[in-house]
Amino acid sequence: MAQQHQQQKPSLVWIDCEMTGLLSTDKLIEIAVIITDDDLNIVAEGPNLIIHQPKEVMDNMNQCVHADKVFLEREMAPIIEHLHYRIVDVSTVKELARRWFPSEFEQVPKKKEAHRALDDIKESIGELKYYRSSVFK
């Protein structure tokens, strides 16, 4: 008897990398992954891996999904092969909301910006949920 395969709904894979900087010589210090459904409900979480670094290193980090992708392509190419080529960049949605929907933008939940990969992903999911309910009505 032939086994029937059920079509899976597409998921959003959220990956955040914290690195010592943006140069090609910099190192990964943390990576976290969360998978959500199309309604931004978390369906899977992990791994969340941390490599300890001094506070001075942590204070000099920034947020850039494109830098994360470049790092993953360089260091973890097999992961990239399983992902869609499009990146959902919440900071782009944020910038458009600031320009086009200023009153809704003023109400966006404030991020703690702790530069912890798992926390950053969860805050970005929350922020995108807010934009979905208030801007993309």
Residue ranges of domains in the chain, CATH in brackets = 12-134 (3.30.420.10)
Tokens of 27: 């190192």
> Residue 64 above 50 pLDDT?
yes
Which whole number is the average pLDDT over 94-107? 96
d(CA 69, CA 111): 22
> Residue 66 above 90 pLDDT?
no
Closest CA to 67 of 33, 12, 97, 26: 26
Specify the length of the chain in residues: 137
Enumerate the active-site residues. Answer: 115
Q: Tell me what the pLDDT averaged over the chain comes to.
A: 84
SS3 134: helix
Q: Crossing angle, helix 90-100 and helix 117-134, to 10 degrees?
A: 40
CB-count burial class (<10 Å; 0-12, 13-18, 19+) for 30: buried
Tokens of 25: 């010589």
Q: Which residue has the higher pLDDT, 77 or 5?
A: 77
Q: How confident is the model at residue 29 (pLDDT cuts 50, 70, 90)?
A: confident
Tokens of 43: 């369906």
The pLDDT tens digits of the residues spanning 30-55 come to: 999 999 999 999 999 999 998 877 77
